[in-house]
Structure 1
Amino acid sequence: MTATIHPTTASIPAVTWNALLPSISGKPDNPFLDHAFFLALEQSGSATARTGWQPQHIVLERDGSPVALMPLYLKSHSQGEYVFDYAWADAYQRAGGDYYPKLQSSVPFTPVTAPKLLVPSADPALKRALLTTAETLARQRHASSVHATFVPEAEADLASDAGWLHRVDTQYHWHNEGFASFEEFLGTLSSRHRKITRRERRDALGADGLTVRWITGADIQEHHWDEFFAFYQDTGSRKWGRPYLTRSFFSLLSASMADRVVLMFAYDGDRAIAGTLNLLGSDTLYGRYWGAIEDVPFLHFELCYYQAIDFAIAHKLKTVEAGAQGEHKLARGYVPTPTHSIHWIEHPALRQAIADYLSQERTAVLREQHLLDEMTPFKKQ
C-alpha cells in the first residue's frame, strides 16, 4: 500500500475522489464532501496556500487502486474551523513552541459533520492507516499537530483507540418526525412556544408584506448570486471580519452543484432584501450562510430556521442542520446534538495539558447538553 499527498484538489480526478465517498444513487450523500465543492473552494481562491489552506490530501492505494481518502490541509492559522484551539496555540507559543503550521482535516469554512476517514470498504485498518499517514506527514512538515473536526462519533472512537484526543461540542439540529405540515410540528410545542413561533413568523413577513422564494437548480441565475454575495458581505462586516468565500466561489458552486443548492430569499416587492444559502443532502438540509441589507425583526429566524423546517417537511427530509453554535435555536425546535473532533499532538507536555483540559471540557459539555434537553420547547411528557 502506498500513500500519495496531493498538493491540490485538482490533482485528484473527480471520479476517483467521489468513488471514495459514501453515496446514494451515484451522488455523494453529503454535498460538502463532493469533489466539486472542494474544487470550487480552490479555484475561487477561497481555500488555497495564499489564504492559509494548503491542500495535503491523502490518497491510499493498494496495488495501484485507490482505497482511502483523507481531505487535509497544512494551515498557518486557525481561522474558518469552528472548533477553537486559539488557547492551545497561545499556550504553546508562550512556552517557546511553534503551533503553526498544523494539519487540518475538515471542509473549509463549514462546520458540518461528515466522515474524514473515507474508506468505501469501511475497513478499520485502512482508517487507522490514514491516521498514521497524517501523523507521519505532520512530522515531515514540522507541524505541531493534526486535527480532524466535525467527524462522526464512530471515527472519534476509532481515533481515540489509536491514541488521538477526543473533543465534544454542541450544535442544534431539527428532526422531522414525519410531519405533514408546519402546523403539525407546532402541535408538538408547548402552548407558549406555539404562540411565540406564530408571532415571530407573522412579524417577520406579515407587517411589511414580504414574500419568500425558494430558488434551486436551473432557476439560480448570476443575479441571484450577486444579491446573495451582498447579503454575505453584510454579515461579515457586522462581525468585524472578512468573508472567507470569494464571489467566484458561488458561481463555481452553481455551475457544478446547482441541483444541491437551495437559496431562500426574502423579497420586498421585486427587491431581494435578505437570503440564506442551504445545501441539500440525501436526507438533510444544511443551512449555512445568511445575510440581509435591511433590518427586519425576526427575519433571520424565518429564513434560517422556519423556512428550513418548511422545506424539510415538504421534501420529506429527516434533518435540518443549521450550522454552528446558537442556543437561540433551541426555542425554535432545534435540539442539542453532540459534535466530535479528534486531535493528535506531537509534543508530549502539550498533549498532556490538552488531554487534561478536554477531559474536563467533555464533562462540562455533556452536563450542559443534559440541561439543554430539559429546556426544549416541546410539550412535557
Structure 2
Amino acid sequence: MIEWPPEKIKDFQTTLLNWYDDAGRDLPWRQDHEPYHVWVSEIMLQQTQVQTVIPYYQRFMKWFPTVTALAQAPEERLLKAWEGLGYYSRVRNMQRCARQLLADYDGQWPQTAAELSDLIGIGPYTAGAIASIAFNEPVPAVDGNAYRVFSRLLEIDADITKPGTREIFEDVISQLISKERPGDFNQAIMDLGASYMTARQPDTAHSPVKRFNQAYLDGKELDYPVRTKKPRPQPIDYVAVVTKMGPDWLMAQRSSKGMLANLWTVPLIKLSDLDLAEDYTVNELITATVAYFKRDYQLDLTAEALAVRPVTHTFTHQKWTIQLLTGQVVPADLAFFAGKTVSATALAQLPMPKVQTKIWDRYHSSQG
C-alpha cells in the first residue's frame, strides 16, 4: 500500500513533528504522559469536540483523581460527572475497567496495546493511544482523524465503515509512524485532522503536510475518506409531562438497561403506548396521558399543554420528537412509579441526559 521511499517517510515524520512541536494544542491531558489521564481524555473525546471536553475532563479529575477513586465512585456521582456527554455506557465501562485494574493488575496499567485491549471498554484506538502516548510503543491510533488524514495523503479508497478497513489503515500507519516519538506522531495526526484537514472545509493550502497530500494535489480531497452513508435515525414520538406533586417535581428514573440507563427525566411516554388515533388533537393527547398515569402509575394527573415547540433530540439510531405537557399530580404512594419527588434545590444533584436539559429549557421558556 505504501509506495513512499524511506527518505520521504522520514521527511514526512520530521515535517509533521516539527509542526506539532510548534503548533500542537495545549490541552490539560497533555501535561504529562500518565495513562489514566490519556485514557479518560480519549474516552471523553469520542464523538465530542475538544473544547466541550476540557471542563468535563477537569471536573472528572477533580472528582476522581485516581483509578481507585473512579473504581469506588457511587454510580449517581459517576453519571453526574458524565452528564451531557452522552453514551453513558462508556463511563460505566470506565468504572468496570478501573475495578478490573485494581483486582487483576494491582492498579498498574498494562504497557502494550495488545495487553491494554484486554481491559473492559478499551478498543483498538484507545489501546493504541494509551500505549503510544504513555508507554512510547510505536503503534497506530486509528480514529476518525487518522482515517481522514491518511486516506487523503495516500488516496486510500477503502470504505471506512467496513470492519476490515481498520487493518488496512493500521498497516499503513505502522509503516509511517515515528519509532522514536509515536505518541507525539499520533497526537499530531489528531491535531492535523482537527485543523487543516477537517471533514468539510479543509485548509490544506496552508497545511504543513500539503506536499504529501495526494488527494489535495489531485484536486479530489473531499472524495476521501470513502464511507457508506449511515441509515437515517428511526423517528420516535414522545410526550414529556413536566409535573409536580405538591411543591416538588415528579422525576422518573430510566431502566438500568437500554438507552439513558439509570438517568433521570420528567415522565416520558412513547405516543405509541397511548390510546391515540393517528390524527389526534391536543385535548386527546392530554386525555390519553392522564389515563396512562392512572392506569400505569396509579396517579391522578391534571394536565395541560404548553404553548411551545416540541423538543427534538437525535441519538445515533433514533430521533426523538417530544411534545410537552405540564400539570399536577395528586399526592399519593409512588409504588407503581419508577421515580421520586425532588425538591427544586435537589434537582441539580440528579444525573440527567442532554434531552432532559432541552426539556427544562423549553419548559422554562414558556414560563416567561
Please give the TM-score of this superposition, normalised by the length of structure 1: 0.26
Q: Which has the higher helix share?
A: 2
Q: Which has the higher strand share?
A: 1
Please give the TM-score of this superposition, normalised by the length of structure 2: 0.26
